[in-house]
A and B are shown apart, each in its own frame.
Chain A
Amino acid sequence: MDLAFFGVQLLNGLQYGLLLFLIASGLTLIFGIMGIINLAHGAMYMIGAYLAFDLTQRLGNFWLAILIAVPIAVILGLVIERLFLDTLYKRDHLYQVLLTFGLILVLNEAQRIIWGGDVHSVALPAPFDGSIALTDNLQYPVYRLFVAAVCLALAGAIYWVIRHTRLGIVIRAGAVNREMVEGLGINIRTLFTLIFSVGVALSAFAGMMAAPLSSITPGMGDSILITCFVVVVIGGIGSIKGAFFGALLIGMAETFGPVLIPSLASMLIYLIMALVLLIKPRGLFA
């Protein structure tokens, strides 16, 4: 592996890791604050990608499509939270797992009914459809860099909101002691609805961002969900910082694994997870 190739892989790993972070952060926020395990998180990623595809086709503009798709995702999250999750907060995780598993079946099949079983793709949007030259014969697509930058900016924004705003204080307090926050006169129900909608929308947004990078397939949500579970377990459930470093670690492992150790590539991330669990059963940053 020469240096340029290494550099490209490094960028790919970074970009993929940051994308994973967007999805995993929603997952870990929803669990850490609301105590809800949301299996339908991956399905939202898929819906985001299909929304981006569909709306780009209709409107002819990727950016306009995203502008419309994000509110749709937020509303979908809002509806799911109000309709189904409301009754589940006091129940065992088991029921949350099952209900969101049922949601996956419904969402996956709804996708099939609306968009069919074909594989789709979205063209790289202008002005990021070009490439920059790394070396004389090695190009790197600008859109990947753009996605990395957007993810990084969002990661920073999430960190800032949680650390330095009043809303962030309430969120952190809610994660520690729900009753106390309620006792202080804060409407935790509204907060939960907000967190769930935003978390789910983050996942859908990641799907939209990923649409021009990868093919859009019916089962794309399932595999990304499992990968994000690994990220969250490694980082520590409920920890945004953990999700960030976990996502980068897994992003790198998934990009370098097939090149360096092909025989172990398919199970590498699970081996990493097993190793982390052996050393720190509650995750690296919990």
Chain B
Amino acid sequence: MLHRYPKRVTFLLLAGLALLIAYPAWGPALFGESSAFFMEKLTLMLIFALFAVSLDLLVGILGLVSLGHALFFGLGAYTLAMASPDFSPASLWWMLPLVMLVTGAVAAIVGVLVLRTKGIFFIMTTLAFGQMLFYTVSTSSMTGGTDGVFIMFRPSLAMGETPLVDLDNPLTFFYFCLALLVAVYLILRALTRSHFGQVLDGIHDNEHRMQALGYATTGYKLIAFVVSAMIAGVAGMLAAMQYGFANPAQLGWHHSGEVLMMVILGGMGTIFGPILGAFAYELLLYFYEHLTNHWPILMGMTIIVAVLVLPRGIAGLLLDPPGRKTSLFGPWSAARDAQQAERVASASQASAGKSAGEVSS
């Protein structure tokens, strides 16, 4: 984990942020009548970015590949849908903590089980737990079966009787999501730089060594798992607010696969990468959907090509542009393995050369 990014990354992120904040200025000029539609698209991208960032904490920082992260996203959506009163808006003051509590509690239970496993078992068990909730929700009449649940009123954010932020206004909601994403990004950046983050990084590299150093690694992993699930739950809640419903597809494993793709496309382990990945993925999806009815085939091919030629994602290109030889940045095992092999090879070459030199002299 690199703790200081090159200036160009910071610059790019700030430029992106400024561009998003200024959307009301350039959106209508660029898109004309469909500017409101694109703002809703952007809002969804921000929500997916939040979701992808939460997964990066597991996949990129901790090295645990979860294929069931949509479980928590969907759980957040359903918590909102089920807990909302029928004829009046809920208050976000208690809805947000409730969503975090529910997703956190479920994540603690699931985490205790799945964190007993590693590697491929972790992938399979997270997948299976995700599907467990998927089938439960899609067969239960309480949660509306495969149709899902509609949310009649968006939660409101008010102080007493006076509304603070009008979340029903699309522009306000857009800014609200943007602010949440920035806040979560900053928190996670601080987290990865903290002692806690260093321990997670250590577990990623060598869990046995961390245990030998006296760290109760399972506890650390569980906390990271729960935090990650809570953020995903909040993202799911925001998505349900945006869509106006919660349905089983939001917690299906295809959704988990998609968000994993966002993380990889953006560049895992960087926190900012997955945000770029979410935007890139959704833009590609939008483009493909307009191109053909058979867009999944294009998306599938894009995923395959991205895996084969761009394993470090967009962030990899930014941090380590092609043409530069040395890399300081290597949370990717493949890249790291290659580096290590190179180092070992050059070291052994050097020592071989040295001994050969000794013989000849």
Cα distance, A94 to B119, chains bound together (Å): 9
Cα distance, A128 to B12, chains bound together (Å): 67
Asked if A78 lies at the interface with its beta carbon under 8 angstroms from chain B, I say: no
Q: Hey, which chain A residues are within 8 Å of B128, CB to CB?
A: 226, 229-230, 233, 270, 273
Chain A positions near chain B (C-beta within 8 angstroms): 31, 37, 39, 84, 87-88, 90-95, 97-99, 101-110, 112-113, 222, 226, 229-230, 232-233, 237, 266-267, 270-271, 273-274, 277-278, 281-283
Q: Which of B216-269 contact A (CB under 8 A)?
A: 253-254, 257, 260-261, 264, 268
Q: Is the CB of B304 within 8 A of A99?
A: yes
Q: Hey, which chain A residues are within 8 Å of B268, CB to CB?
A: 94
Q: Hey, which chain B residues are within 8 Å of A274, CB to CB?
A: 113, 129
Cα distance, A283 to B156, chains bound together (Å): 47
Q: Is the CB of B123 within 8 A of A37?
A: yes
Q: Is the CB of B125 within 8 A of A233?
A: yes
Cα distance, A283 to B135, chains bound together (Å): 23
Cα distance, A112 to B114, chains bound together (Å): 35
Q: Is the CB of A270 within 8 A of B131?
A: yes
B117 to chain A, nearest CB (A): 5
Q: Is the CB of A109 within 8 A of B253?
A: no
Q: Is the CB of B117 within 8 A of A103?
A: no
Q: Is the CB of B117 within 8 A of A281?
A: yes
Q: Which of B132, B294, B302, B333 contacts A109 (CB 8 A)?
A: B294
Q: Which of A90, A109, A277, A281 contacts B334 (CB 8 A)?
A: A90
Q: Hey, which chain B residues are within 8 Å of A229, CB to CB?
A: 124, 127-128
Interface size on B, residues (CB 8 A): 45
A sample of 17 cross-chain residue pairs with beta-carbon separation below 8 angstroms, ordered by A number, consists of A37-B123, A91-B334, A97-B67, A98-B261, A99-B308, A102-B304, A108-B296, A109-B296, A109-B297, A222-B254, A226-B253, A233-B124, A270-B131, A273-B125, A277-B117, A282-B121, A283-B121
Knowing A105-B300, A226-B253, A232-B124 are in contact, say whether A94-B294 is a contact too (CB < 8 A): no
Q: Hey, which chain B residues are within 8 Å of A109, CB to CB?
A: 294, 296-297, 300
Q: Is the CB of B123 within 8 A of A95?
A: no
Asked if B337 lies at the interface with its beta carbon under 8 angstroms from chain A, I say: yes
Asked if B9 lies at the interface with its beta carbon under 8 angstroms from chain A, I say: no
Q: Hey, which chain B residues are within 8 Å of A283, CB to CB?
A: 121
A268 to chain B, nearest CB (A): 10
Q: Is the CB of B113 within 8 A of A277?
A: yes
Q: Hey, which chain B residues are within 8 Å of A87, CB to CB?
A: 308
Asked if B311 lies at the interface with its beta carbon under 8 angstroms from chain A, I say: yes
Knowing A90-B337, A98-B303 are in contact, say whether A84-B131 is a contact too (CB < 8 A): no
Q: Is the CB of B127 within 8 A of A92?
A: no
Q: Is the CB of A95 within 8 A of B311?
A: yes
Knowing A37-B123, A90-B337, A233-B121 are in contact, say whether A281-B304 is a contact too (CB < 8 A): no
Cα distance, A198 to B73, chains bound together (Å): 37
A42 to chain B, nearest CB (A): 11
Q: Hey, which chain A residues are within 8 Å of B297, CB to CB?
A: 105-106, 109-110, 113
Q: Hey, which chain B residues are within 8 Å of A107, CB to CB?
A: 300
B144 to chain A, nearest CB (A): 15
B134 to chain A, nearest CB (A): 9
Cα distance, A120 to B253, chains bound together (Å): 25
Q: Hey, which chain B residues are within 8 Å of A104, CB to CB?
A: 300
Q: Hey, which chain A residues are within 8 Å of B261, CB to CB?
A: 98, 101
Among residues of B, the one whose C-beta sits closest to the C-beta of A270 is: B132
Asked if B299 lies at the interface with its beta carbon under 8 angstroms from chain A, I say: yes
Asked if B301 lies at the interface with its beta carbon under 8 angstroms from chain A, I say: yes
Q: Is the CB of B120 within 8 A of A31?
A: yes
